[in-house]
Structure 1
Amino acid sequence: MSTTAPESLKMQLTYVETRSGEFKAQGVPYKAIRYLSSNTREIRYSHETHRALDGEMMMLPRTGIEPPRRIVTGHTPDGKSTTIFDGEVSSAPNVGTRFWVTKGWPTDNSGDNKDLRDESPDRAGIFQTNGTNFLAQDVPPGAVVPMHRTSTLDYGILISGELTLVLEDGPPLTLSEPGTVFVQRGTAHQWENRGPDWVRVIFVILDAKPFAYTNADGAQVTLEEYHSWSKAPT
């Protein structure tokens, strides 16, 4: 089954494979994708203002990188440590594969062992106010994540492939060694996969205060958050 996304949703180009096997280009923003099955890689389009898309099922092409195994621990009713989730989780091009999302600070480890992977962060589906998001991104060859800035502290680790980090000042930085780590401190940045292979990066995203500085005129300037699909503030 296939559908055509409204113009207002055509913010990012993602290739999807329909059940019949035909490849088509569809515009889908990050927060319009929800994972339903780690085994079949099925996705459902959904959006607050476009409920008509609900129920449309498509298949994402395989990335050439195996889905990551996720282990989550918890507690038994009598307080003993145990495993509550253990299995593969789906990965998809250009969109975050969520492992765990927390809302509220400090994090509360009590509860009913609900799978917090199913929680949707409140800013662009990736950034959680007063919370965290633990995720992976698989980036196809030739892909560019346009310049954006978020009011977050991002911890990242390169798992495979080669990724280029572009900042507003200074030369581009190439991450090529698996295990390379980076700390993104609320800076405007762009990611590019200039190589021939898929890239996998793991992120831990923590909410943070917007960066502020005093300009040459002595005025306080706060750098606003903006995302790939929105206009950068002037």
Structure 2
Amino acid sequence: MQHREFRRVVTGHDANGIAIIESDEIATQVLERPNRPGVRLTNFWLTDQTPAEYDGPTETCTGPFILHPPKDGTVFRCVEFMPEDPEVMAKLSSEDGAAAFAEMGAGANVVQGGRHPWMHRTDSVDYGIVLSGEIWMLMDEEKEDVHLKAGDVVVQRGTNHAWANRGTEPCTIMFILIDGVAKAGEGKGIPPR
């Protein structure tokens, strides 16, 4: 099974304010790591302010590949999950997850002793759309786990979670991550930061 490449088209304006295509090419900010086997992330666009600037640079996906969106910003990305190998997964721990996430600036976001090596949380509101395949979204307790299929959507709001492809086909999910905050002392189950 092979990961796919994504064509990314970016619009803009010419000097006269006429709508044009500024870029039409394969998305190049991609992250695959041996310590997170079978997963590939592709970034399409980042913003670093709200409201977002729509007539700024033609390319925003430069620099290090970071899990979180920029402060007051967003990330538009795709994550492809190949089926998990149970033998490989049995040998992994949350320490392995922390090492993998540290490469994306988020080692501290891994849940130590979590139910899955890559159980983590982000300080963001994430919109996820399952494009193909199926996947399990694991939560703190097994009774809360949910099986998602193509066409399903998730609004993930800063909770502990992990993605587990227990099927036989790749799963592709599009994500938009929006920088978020939690009101101190409010909400359910918000762990201390």
Same fold per superposition (TM over 0.5): yes
Aligned pairs (5 A) from 1:178-217? 178-210=150-182, 212-213=184-185
Tell me the distance in 1 between the aligned counterparts of 2:171 and 2:184. 32
Change (3 A) 1:85 1:120: same
Among 91, 97, 103, which residue is 2:42 paired with? 97
1:87 aligns with 2:55: no
Q: In the TM superposition, what is the alpha-carbon distance from 1:174 to its structure 2 partner? A: 0.7
Structure 2 unaligned blocks of 5 or more: 33-37, 86-115
Among 65, 72, 75, which residue is 1:133 paired with? 75
Tell me the distance in 2 between the aligned counterparts of 1:146 and 1:187. 13
CA contact (8 A) 1:96 1:126 kept: no
Among 118, 141, 144, which residue is 1:171 paired with? 144
Change (3 A) 1:135 1:97: same
Q: In the TM superposition, what is the alpha-carbon distance from 1:205 to its structure 2 partner? A: 0.2
Tell me the distance in 2 between the aligned counterparts of 1:224 and 1:68. 38
**What is the CA deviation profile of residues 72-94 of structure 1, one whole-angstrom value per residue up to 9, with x for unaligned ones?**
11111121111111222255542
SS in 2 for 1:147: coil
The AA in structure 2 aligned to 1:189 is H
**What is the CA deviation profile of residues 128-161 of structure 1, one whole-angstrom value per residue up to 9, with x for unaligned ones?**
2110000001112107662111110000101111
Identity of aligned residues (%): 29
Structure with a larger share of its residues in strand: 1
1:77 aligns with 2:15: yes
**What is the CA deviation profile of residues 103-148 of structure 1, one whole-angstrom value per residue up to 9, with x for unaligned ones?**
122111123x431122547xx4433211000000111210766211
1:154 matched residue in structure 2: 126
Tell me the distance in 2 between the aligned counterparts of 1:167 and 1:82. 44
Larger radius of gyration: 1
The higher-RCO structure (CA 8 Å, 6+ apart) is: 2
The AA in structure 2 aligned to 1:115 is E
SS in 1 for 2:10: strand
SS in 1 for 2:61: helix
Structure 1 unaligned blocks of 5 or more: 1-62, 226-234
Q: In the TM superposition, what is the alpha-carbon distance from 1:102 to its structure 2 partner? A: 0.8
Alignment: residue pair count: 155
CA contact (8 A) 2:128 2:173 kept: yes
Tell me the distance in 2 between the aligned counterparts of 1:157 and 1:221. 25
Structure with a larger share of its residues in helix: 2
